[in-house]
Amino acid sequence: MNANAPIGPALDSERVTLAHGGGGTAMRRLIDEVFLDAFRTEATGEMEDQARLTAPALTETGARLAFTTDSFVVDPLEFPGGDIGTLAVNGTVNDLAVGGARPLWLSAAFIIEEGLEISLLRRIAASMRQAADAAGVAIVTGDTKVVGKGMADKLFITTSGVGAIPPGRDMAASKIQAGDVALVNGVLGDHGAAILAARGDMALSTDIASDCQPLNGLIEAVAEAAPNLRAARDATRGGLASALNEMADAATLGIAIDEEALPLRREVVGVCEILGLDPLYLANEGTLVLFVPEAEAEAALTAMRAHPAGQEAVAIGRAVAQHPGRVVMQTLFGGGRIVDMLVGEQLPRIC
C-alpha cells in the first residue's frame, strides 16, 4: 500500500475483476481509492507491510494485551441495521471488549469474488470506518484478494483486533460464583431475525433491524459501577442459550433464568412462531450477557440503562450451585425446562 499520489488510471470499472487482485496498478487503485480512503486516520503512517504502533494503555505496569480474530460471511451483505462491514468491526471489537480489553486497532482482510460492484465495496468500507469511529478503534492494516467467480460468495472479511486490558482487571467465566446475577443489555434475537427476513425467501415483511453495535463503552461503564464484574459474553452465533451454556460450563455452575424476564420483541417472537425457531438461539451482534455479584447488580443495571447500548438492560437470572454446566429456565407457566446447547443449525420445521 502507498499513501502517495495515485498511480495508473483511475478506478473506472464498475465491478471488481481478477485484475484488481493481480498485484499491479489496478490492485493499487482498489486499495488506495476504496480502502485507504475510507480507513485513513492519524494512526495510518508510512505504508509499509505492517502497521507500527504504540499506545500508553499497553505500557502501563500490569496491563495485558488482548488479541482476537474472526471471519465474517453473511447473506445478504447489506441488511437492515448494518452490513458485513459493521459486523466485521463490531464483532471483533466485542470479542475484545467482553474480555475486559479496551480495543485499540484492527486489521481487515478482504476476499472478494470477481464481479462484486465497486460501489458496494465502497459502501461497506465507509460503514466499517463509521463503526470503527463509533467504537474508538482504527483499522491500521489490511489485505485484499480477488478470487474467480464461484470461488467465494461475493465478499468475506476477516478482522483481527488488539486491545489493552487495564491492570487489575480479570474477567472470565471461571470467576462466576453461585448467587451472581445475570444481566443482558437489551432485546434478544434482532440480528438473527433481521437476517432471516432480509434474505427475502420467506416473504416476511418486518421492520426488525440488526442490533449490530459496539459493546466496549457499555462494558467500561459496567466495570466502573460494578468493580467485581465477573465475566461477559456477547450472545452472537447460537444466541443467548449458547452463551449461557458456555459460561455454565466454564464456571462449573448451573445457571437458572426466568422466561418472564427475557426481553423479547413482539416481531421477533412472531418470526420465530412462524418458522418454528427459538429466539433464545437467534444470533445477536450487539447483545451481551454479563455476571456481577448480587450486591453490585443494581449499580450495574443503572449504569447499563444510562448507556445508549444498554437502555433495555434487565436481570434474567443467576448462577446456582445445582446442575453444574447446565442452564435451566423457569417457564412463564411456572414449569421448568432445560435450555440446551444448539446442535448444528436451527432448521425451520415442516408444519
Query: Which residue ranges make up the site for another protein (CB under 8 A)?
Result: 201-202, 260, 266, 269-270, 273, 275-276, 322-323, 326, 328, 330-338, 340, 343-344, 347-351
Closer residue to another protein, CB minimum distance, 4 or 349: 349
Q: How many CB atoms lie within 10 A of CB 205?
A: 7
- Minimum Å gap between C-beta 271 and another protein is 9
Name the minimum Å distance from CB 266 to another protein: 7
Least spacing, CB of residue 334 vs another protein, in Å: 6
Residue with cell 465477573: 230
Q: Which three cell numbers stand for residue 131?
A: 463503526
Reference 43, options 131, 138, 181; nearest CA is 138
Residue whose CB is less far from another protein, 3 or 202 = 202
What lies within 8 Å, CB to CB, of 347 at 6+ separation is none
Using the minimum distance from each CB to another protein, give the nearer residue, 50 or 333: 333
Name the amino acid, one letter, at 56.
P
- Integer angstrom CA distances of residue 43 from 47, 115, 216, 221, 345: 11, 32, 20, 26, 40
We find the least distance from the C-beta atom of residue 205 to another protein, in angstroms, to be 13
Residue indicated by cell numbers 502507498 = 2
**Residue placing its CB nearer to another protein in the complex, 10 or 333:** 333
Q: How far is residue 247's CA from residue 175's CA, in Å, rounded to a whole number?
A: 10
Cis peptide before 56 (omega within 30 of 0): no
Total Cβ atoms within 10 A of residue 31: 20
Nearer to another protein, 24 or 336 (CB): 336
